[in-house]
Amino acid sequence: MIPGEYESTFIFNKVAKQWGAYSYDAKEDALRVVVPSEQTSTMEENLVYEINPDSFEIKWEYGKASAKIAPAQ
């Protein structure tokens, strides 16, 4: 994920078992999704991944970004 003040980018990469971005290669990205970023009033000390039936959300400090998930056609 690339967080930003107004928008964030979720990156889905095809290479599993990477730690951090040390060997990250953008050519291996399967999908990038740009979504709006939001501010929250609640502090999240740890990075939180939340999967919901129709969306997923990432929270960190006072920031949040979420994306809708559409059913496969």
Q: How far apart are CA 63 and CA 1, in angstroms?
A: 13
Q: How far apart are CA 32 and CA 30, in angstroms?
A: 7
Digit-coded pLDDT (tens) for 13-30: 999 888 877 888 999 999
Q: What is the pLDDT of residue 71?
A: 79
pTM, two decimals, is: 0.80
CB 67 within 8 A of CB 50: no
